[in-house]
Amino acid sequence: MGAIRLALLLCDTPIPSVRSVHGTYVEIYRRLLEESLNQAVAPHPEWTLDGYDVVKGHYPSEEALSQYHGILISGSAASAYAPLEWIPPVLQFLSRTATSHPQVKIIGICFGLQLVARAFGGECVPNKKGWELGVYEVDLTTAGKLIFGQDKLRIHQVHRDHVPSLPPRFHLLGSTDKCLVQGMVLPYGSAAEVASFSDIHILCLQGHPEFTTDIVQKVVDAREASGILDAPTAQEARRRAVLEHDGVNAVGKVIWKLFGLSFLPSV
């Protein structure tokens, strides 16, 4: 297996308290991927992760896109529906890349899922049911169970916006009581279902597999201090932040499986 080249579209930067301990989003995502890769069947491939700050208008070149295997899209404190001048170019880039470079798998995380939904005919809106903060248990669909190899997925959440319904041709992966579209997948071509990882063109999750308890706690502290979160909401978020989650052991593995890696069955 040759080297796997991945790009990360950076839609934000970590708050100072997170960055001082955990580094940039490139470092945070790299850590998730490294920890997951350690569980793959050897030999492990060489791989790279290159960051592109799309807020500043930085994107992979056409030449680079021809060499990438996958593009990840980070979360953001921004709203995907906000009238920000840098968001429409991201939507156009995602749509164009999916068409002109179909070999590139697209993986959207939180804000990334919301951008993908908009880029492919869906929408993102404020969630009237409020925040999801900390670890929530996602009830997986048949497709979600097939992909993740389990009935439920526990994953960190940090969002108040949501995608209210699936974009055309996407399949639902799972839901919570507060959020219908917790994950979605787009197969290649006109496939009616996803039968294998090679069928997957785009995979998105509303949760944050790259987040840890400490990262979520720091985000909650900062948002409570700024008045974005009230005390009861922050308290519930802190309770959930310490719960066990499947970021590395389930989601991280699935990301690698998209590129042909194998893992021994969990025991």
Q: How confident is the model at residue 191 (pLDDT cuts 50, 70, 90)?
A: low
Report the percent of the chain where pLDDT is more than 90.
93
Which residues have a Cβ under 8 Å from the Cβ of 203 and sit 6 or more positions away? 105, 106, 107, 108, 147, 173, 183, 184, 185, 186, 254, 258
Give the mean model confidence (pLDDT) for residues 69-90: 98
Q: What is the pLDDT of residues 221-257, one digit of tens each?
A: 999 999 999 999 999 999 999 999 999 999 999 999 9
Does 129 have pLDDT greater than 80? yes
Can you read off the two tokens belonging to residue 163? Answer: 């995608």
| pLDDT of the residue at 49 | 98
| pLDDT of the residue at 1 | 61
DSSP one-letter code for 253: H
pTM: 0.96
Q: Are 44 and 82 in contact (CB under 8 A)?
A: no
| pLDDT of the residue at 51 | 98
Q: Are 80 and 111 in contact (CB under 8 A)?
A: yes
Give the helix/strand (H/E) hosting 114.
helix 111-119
| pLDDT of the residue at 219 | 98
Q: What is the pLDDT of residues 64-79, one digit of tens each?
A: 999 999 999 999 999 9
CATH number, domain 4-126+161-206+246-257: 3.40.50.880
| pLDDT of the residue at 179 | 98
Q: What is the pLDDT of residues 26-37, one digit of tens each?
A: 999 999 999 999
- Average pLDDT of the chain is 96
| pLDDT of the residue at 74 | 98
| pLDDT of the residue at 244 | 97
Q: What is the pLDDT of residues 163-184, one digit of tens each?
A: 999 999 999 999 999 999 999 9
For CA atoms 266, 137, 197, 142, the dihedral sign is positive
Does 267 have pLDDT greater than 60? no
H-helix segments, 202-262 = 213-225, 231-241, 253-257
**Which range is least confidently modeled, 156-165, 195-204, 209-218?**
195-204
| Residue spans per domain, the chain | 4-126+161-206+246-257
Neighbours of 172 (CB within 10 A): 18
